[in-house]
């Protein structure tokens, strides 16, 4: 009786979702082809199995028959034996990061990649999909937000206003439809085109937001859901960034500074965490007075902040980050390496989602007060305001459904206790408000992104048992984190390799 009820519910859900898609969209076929040329540098064993394709979707799902369409780029990694127990949609976060190479990460996780069809997606706005743009402009880094002089504040907030205007003007009509509401409808169209009644979801960071909303809009078409490194997806985007300064400062002081001090014989930045922190402050002042020019760019105090912020995401980056920090501080000989910037389309997609999805509270006066208060408490990142351009954004009339987990399958949330970018506190609040979720807390850990991209066997086993064996945790649980690296002994990171390979995909 219960099976028959489920089957009827699935049939109704599928029929309802088909009504959303125009007939032409639902009838199209994805033309798959091999993603990479043979011998592509850096392609991992098995990477030749990754196939790429694309499909079209309405630009505006609220008016799908107006003839305006966009392209969504996708990939799929089939199991080695060709038989998949399930299909898993993946998302690397950002939000707005391209995702077509993400399935390659799971070649190192044979239990998953040998039993599931893994789908990579460049969501609308980014990667090889139809793009939005900010014309290459990003207000972050234009000037030092610690300088609270009136002229500098005018430059700082004038730059945010300029970014908002450029993003919207250059992206045109399409930019107003780069929203989570539109994105999840693209995803359900993809599910239909793949001929699947149900799919599963694996999303990191901003991908936890998309996954929670996909579960809200289409709860009956999801089988299993894993959300790793969670934004506070049950609240507006702005709430998720309220804890940023605190999160990065905690990671900086608890993990990074003591680690650098431990290896003072390598980095010469101080024998205690406080001595290393003072080295950072001195280097920052020095670089603002005398920027260091290298072939790859100019490093001032702001660039030092942004470098260290980036390093906090993954402990495997501690050695290189500390080395560059030491070089900029003049403590070791210069061996600087170029740092890759965030692609314009990915950046523009992130801001379109931030500023279109949910309302931003406050204007310039609010931003000034918030920056000063947060910076005083959390100086590494607290002065920076990632969502600042949203204060100047001409927001379209978007009303997202509220994610509460009702009707969705059991959701497994994975979260490290010192995650800097999506702090534990926001994840815990989302867990409390998202019905039928369980939280896997990773103790003594601060990495952002745990499952599959690191070496935590406990987390990997729990996630794969859930996906492949159907073992659903009955209650919240914990795993222990992995030790911090030793300089010179850092293993290659499959996620970073996948990102680098994106440039070599056959189009």
| Residue range 88-128, pLDDT digits in tens | 999 999 999 999 999 999 999 999 999 999 999 999 999 99
Model pTM?
0.91
Mean pLDDT over residues 204-208, rounded?
Answer: 98
pLDDT, residue 87, reads 98
pLDDT tens sequence across 6-51: 232 323 233 333 334 455 577 899 999 999 988 888 898 899 999 9
pLDDT, residue 7, reads 31
| CA 105 – CA 464 distance, rounded (Å) | 14
Predicted confidence (pLDDT) at residue 267 exceeds the cutoff of 60: yes
Phi and psi angles of residue 257, each rounded to the nearest 5 degrees, phi first: -60, -45
The average confidence (pLDDT) of the chain is: 90
- Let me know: does 225 contact 408? Beta carbons within 8 Å: yes
Burial class (CB in 10 A: 0-12, 13-18, 19+), 203: buried
Query: Which residue intervals of 220-312 are DSSP H helices?
Result: 237-242, 244-251, 257-262, 264-267, 273-289, 301-311
- Let me know: does 203 contact 430? Beta carbons within 8 Å: no
Predicted confidence (pLDDT) at residue 288 exceeds the cutoff of 60: yes
Place of tokens 């250059």: 170
More confident residue, 6 or 207: 207
Give ∠ CA 375-348-36 in degrees, rounded to 5: 120
Least confident residue range of 75-84, 417-426, 438-447:
75-84
- Say which residues have a Cβ less than 8 Å from residue 506's Cβ, sequence separation at least 6: 33, 34, 35, 36, 37, 52
- Say which residues have a Cβ less than 8 Å from residue 269's Cβ, sequence separation at least 6: 260, 261, 275, 276, 279, 280, 322, 325, 326, 329, 331
pLDDT tens sequence across 425-439: 999 999 999 999 999
% of the chain with per-residue pLDDT over 70:
88
Helix, strand or coil, per DSSP, at residue 340: coil
358: tokens are: 């949910």
Q: Which residues of 66-80 are buried (b: 16+ CB within 10 A; e: fewer)?
A: eeebbebbbbbbbbe
pLDDT tens sequence across 322-335: 999 999 998 555 44
pLDDT tens sequence across 464-476: 999 999 999 999 9
Least confident residue range of 131-140, 250-259, 331-340, 389-398:
331-340
Using pLDDT thresholds of 50, 70 and 90, give the confidence band for residue 504.
very low
pLDDT, residue 22, reads 54
Using pLDDT thresholds of 50, 70 and 90, give the confidence band for residue 1.
very low
pLDDT, residue 24, reads 55
Phi and psi angles of residue 140, each rounded to the nearest 5 degrees, phi first: -70, 125
């Amino acid at each position: 009786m219960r099976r028959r009820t489920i089957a009827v519910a699935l049939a109704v859900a599928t029929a309802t979702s088909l009504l959303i898609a125009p007939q032409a969209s639902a009838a199209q076929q994805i033309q798959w082809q091999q993603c990479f040329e043979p011998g592509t540098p850096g392609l991992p064993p098995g990477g030749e199995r990754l196939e790429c394709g694309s499909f079209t979707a309405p630009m505006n799902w609220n008016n799908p028959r107006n003839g305006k369409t966009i392209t969504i780029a996708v990939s799929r990694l089939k199991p080695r034996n060709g038989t998949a127990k399930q299909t898993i949609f993946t998302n690397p976060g950002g939000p707005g990061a391209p995702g077509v190479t993400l399935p390659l990460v799971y070649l190192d996780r044979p239990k998953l990649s040998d039993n599931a069809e893994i789908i990579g997606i460049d969501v609308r706005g980014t990667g090889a999909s139809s793009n939005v743009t900010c014309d290459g402009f990003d207000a972050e880094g234009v000037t030092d937000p610690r300088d609270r002089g009136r002229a500098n504040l005018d430059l700082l907030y004038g730059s945010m206003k300029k970014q908002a205007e450029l993003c919207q003007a250059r992206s045109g009509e399409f930019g107003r439809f780069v929203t989570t509401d539109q994105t999840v409808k693209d995803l359900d169209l993809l599910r239909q085109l793949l001929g699947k009644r149900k799919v599963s979801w694996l999303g990191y960071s901003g991908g936890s937001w998309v996954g929670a909303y996909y579960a809200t809009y289409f709860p009956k078409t999801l089988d299993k859901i894993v959300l790793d490194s969670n934004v506070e997806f049950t609240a507006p985007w702005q709430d998720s960034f309220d804890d940023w300064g605190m999160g990065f400062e905690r990671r900086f002081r608890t993990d990074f500074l003591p680690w650098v001090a431990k290896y003072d014989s390598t980095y010469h930045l101080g024998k205690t965490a406080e001595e290393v922190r003072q080295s950072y402050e001195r280097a920052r002042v020095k670089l603002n007075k005398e920027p260091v020019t290298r072939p790859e760019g100019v490093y001032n105090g702001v660039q030092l902040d942004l470098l260290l912020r980036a390093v906090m995401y993954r402990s495997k980056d501690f050695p290189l980050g500390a080395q560059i920090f030491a070089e900029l501080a003049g403590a070791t000989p210069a061996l600087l390496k170029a740092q890759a910037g965030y692609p314009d389309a990915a950046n523009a997609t992130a801001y379109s989602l931030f500023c279109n999805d949910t309302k931003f509270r406050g204007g310039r006066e609010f931003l000034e007060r918030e920056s000063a208060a947060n910076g005083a408490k959390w100086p590494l990142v607290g002065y920076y305001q990632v969502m600042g351009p949203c204060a100047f954004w001409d927001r379209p009339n978007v009303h997202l459904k509220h994610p509460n987990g009702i009707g969705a399958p059991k959701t497994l949330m994975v979260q490290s206790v010192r995650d800097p970018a999506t702090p534990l506190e926001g994840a815990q609040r989302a867990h409390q408000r998202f019905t039928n979720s369980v939280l896997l807390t990773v103790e003594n850990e601060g990495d952002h992104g745990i499952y599959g991209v690191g070496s935590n066997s406990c987390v990997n086993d729990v996630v794969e048992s859930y996906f492949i064996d159907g073992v659903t945790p009955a209650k919240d649980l914990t795993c222990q984190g992995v030790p911090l690296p030793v300089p010179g002994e850092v293993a290659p990171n499959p996620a970073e390799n996948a990102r680098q390979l994106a440039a070599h995909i056959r189009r």
